[in-house]
């Protein structure tokens, strides 16, 4: 519900004269976006796990076994959630706020709102809250500096997929 309100607010701000988002996708930058995705995921793990090496080992082991409909569902879900959220948070809201109040204030404001709306994911944990805020800030910077929604969507989707995959690490898949 709040996402709908934020999109409406962003669209109204864009209609009031804020710069419209310039949507471009540089497919040749895909390897850079993939590298950014892996670095963002590694940062997430280092900030929230007591045993980052073991966690990454479990994720890599699960990735090696990733087959079947459960993992296809997990991958599609991660992609669709990232596509939706980045369209709302970066393309509409961040673009509108950057045009109105400037990126120095807009990026942390959007990251704070994103973190607040995902507070159910942090379970009251300060490391998780800080990680989610940092994650959102990094995605905002990637979108701001590239102008390419894929620069934020791809790291978001890959991070969500790998975190989701970690939940299946002990299952036979």
R_g (Cα) of the chain, nearest Å: 17
Tell me if 17 is assigned to some domain.
Answer: no
Please say whether the beta carbons of 79 and 150 come within 8 A.
no
**What pLDDT digit, counting tens, does each position of 108-118 carry?**
999 999 998 88
Tell me if 105 is assigned to some domain.
Answer: yes
User: Which structural domain range is residue 65 located in?
Assistant: 26-166
Tell me if 18 is assigned to some domain.
Answer: no
For residue 172, name the pLDDT band (cuts at 50, 70, 90): very low
Report DSSP state, residue 28.
G
Task: Specify the number of domains making up the chain.
Answer: 1
Tell me if 1 is assigned to some domain.
Answer: no
Residue 124 has phi, psi (to 5 degrees) of 75, 10
pLDDT of res. 6:
63
For the ranges 1-5, 26-30, 47-51, 144-148, the maximum mean pLDDT occurs at 144-148
Closest CA to 147 of 76, 80, 98: 98
Tell me if 2 is assigned to some domain.
Answer: no
Determine what percent of the chain falls in helix, strand and coil, rounding each to the nearest 5.
80, 0, 20
Please say whether the beta carbons of 167 and 44 come within 8 A.
no
Tell me if 173 is assigned to some domain.
Answer: no
Tell me if 133 is assigned to some domain.
Answer: yes
């Amino acid at each position: 519900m709040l996402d709908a309100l934020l999109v409406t607010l962003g669209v109204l701000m864009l209609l009031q004269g804020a710069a419209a988002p310039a949507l471009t996708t540089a497919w040749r930058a895909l390897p850079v976006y993939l590298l950014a995705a892996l670095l963002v995921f590694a940062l997430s793990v280092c900030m929230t796990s007591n045993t980052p090496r073991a966690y990454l080992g479990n994720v890599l082991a699960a990735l090696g076994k990733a087959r079947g409909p459960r993992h296809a569902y997990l991958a599609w879900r991660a992609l669709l959630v990232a596509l939706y959220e980045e369209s709302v948070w970066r393309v509409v809201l961040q673009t509108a706020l950057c045009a109105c109040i400037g990126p120095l204030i807009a990026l942390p404001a959007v990251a704070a709102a994103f973190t607040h709306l995902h507070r159910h994911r942090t379970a009251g944990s300060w490391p998780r809250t800080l990680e989610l805020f940092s994650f959102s800030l990094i995605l905002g910077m990637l979108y701001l500096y590239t102008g390419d929604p894929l620069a934020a969507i791809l790291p978001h989707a890959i991070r969500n997929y790998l975190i989701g995959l970690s939940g299946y690490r002990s299952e036979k898949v």
